A and B are shown apart, each in its own frame.
Chain A
């Protein structure tokens, strides 16, 4: 067996095993109710990859299974980001409405840019226009995903909200994968600097990195801090608020 084949196999099998473990751990820690979409994603991917592994010698079945499941996977990955946004915003009832509205507005703007990029790309001049169209469409979706993640992280950091452990892990994993995939799709679909084989190999590597990040957050035993706040500190927060409000309304 060639070294390249071994690497390809390792990159294929690793996420199947690791994501199955993540799914089991999530079920065991009762995280399924908290992150149902991410759990579905974690179960669907190993199932799909196992199915693809079985039918890998039948090109038509492989291609059909891959593209059909890819559409579901991409939709689910967007659903996971929605789930994380909802999960991190939910405890703050006073900003729920505005934060969600802001997220949807940002998503709409990113979708518009993604559509413009998709429509402006010349794909009919390429040898396989259908394949080019699919790749450009995927690039647009990854762009939307990346923009949504940027908005989520910015919103959290600008408002000074606290990241929850698992939400931070899911976001980091998806962020790394989205960024890497976006680079690769740009290099392949727009710039044509890499071949399809290299795209598949590097994409698989990026996905492995994301799965390892999720595993670090989900599988690693979580330290219980047990910090309790017995009293609140004396602050001048209401005075700061008054001063800032007064300044803004001068």
Chain B
């Protein structure tokens, strides 16, 4: 029974994605025109306020818990909307950059490479941000912290090693 359910879900997911793939394959559409028509304005300052933990703490102190939960969910939903817009815009810009990379003008091609890299970073960051915002929407009172990136952890470790008393010995890897 479990096997049938797994296979059924796999088939449903595959067919749904294929339908989206054929629907979204907009080969031949001018991406610049699409950007002008579908590119959304994003209010970055508003986004910053919506995800500001100090604002959440202030709200927590100012209103009763049920009201806080309701308002916090509203704020998170708005922040999610902003992230969706950023990700959508980045996807459109990736299409523009893909075409611009073929340009004979070396400057445009190089700028397109940089734009594409930035767009990719926005897409990846938006993906992680969406996940955390959804978690915070489900549990609005929880202060969910994003785990530190590994490089930051290593840097922290190095700093702590350099600040450590001489008598403390560390493995050779960290010394």
Contacts and interface: CB of A to CB of B under 8 A. Distances in A.
Interface of A: 91-92, 94-95, 113, 117, 120-121, 139, 143, 146-147, 149-150, 153-154, 156-163, 165, 168, 171-172, 175-176, 178-179, 182-183, 186, 190-191, 223, 225, 227-233, 235-241, 243-245, 247-250
Interface stretch (B57-65, B117-125, B155-163): B117-125
A230 to B, nearest CB: 8
Contacts of A186: 3-4, 7-8
Of the listed residues A95, A117, A233, A236, the one surrounded by the most CB atoms of chain B closer than 10 A to its CB is A233
Main secondary structure, interface of B, reads helix
Nearest to B90: A160
Interface stretch (B66-74, B144-152, B165-173): B144-152
A160 B15 CA distance: 19
Interface of B: 3-4, 6-8, 10-11, 13-15, 17-18, 20-22, 24-25, 27-28, 30-32, 35-36, 39, 42, 44, 47-48, 51, 53, 83, 86-87, 89-103, 108, 111-112, 115-129, 132, 145-146, 148-149, 152
Contact of A237 (B10, B47, B90, B148): B90
A171 B19 CA distance: 12
Contacts of A139: 7
Contacts of A176: 18
A146 B9 CA distance: 11
A92 B116 contact: yes
A249 B149 contact: yes
B79 to A, nearest CB: 9
A132 B87 CA distance: 47
